[in-house]
Amino acid sequence: MILKCDIFGYPFPVITWSRPLKQLPINRHVIHGNKLMIKHTTEDDGGAYVCQGANELAMRGIMGVIWIIVKDVGKLRIKNYVLYFFFFFFV
């Protein structure tokens, strides 16, 4: 599963990922720029994911929350999901 968070601002914001009340999947998540990839997705990976962007002018920045529901579909496997967030903030 791949989650993508597009936050635009100047200077360009640093993007971080987290989960409320849970850790990101240990040894199965990779953060690359604005993308969070979770390898070998399981039903336990369902729930809220938080994308946050901040720069030196707006330290509190902006955040978005997405709720993911993961269901076992038996033999049918979906290799990747790409979900997008779009946020704008100006300082």
Instruction: Look up residue 63 and give its amino acid.
Output: M
Q: Residue 15 corresponds to which tokens in the numbers above?
A: 């993007």
Predicted confidence at residue 39, as pLDDT, reads: 92
Predicted confidence at residue 59, as pLDDT, reads: 66
Backbone angles phi, psi at 12, to 5 degrees: -60, 130
Low-confidence ranges of the chain (pLDDT < 70): 59, 73-91
Q: What's the burial of 36, exposed, middle or buried (CB within 10 Å: 0-12/13-18/19+)?
A: buried
- In order of their start, the domains of the chain are 2-88 (2.60.40.10)
Task: Give the whole-angstrom CA distance, residue 23 versus residue 18.
Answer: 7
Q: pTM for the complete prediction? A: 0.74
Predicted confidence at residue 30, as pLDDT, reads: 94
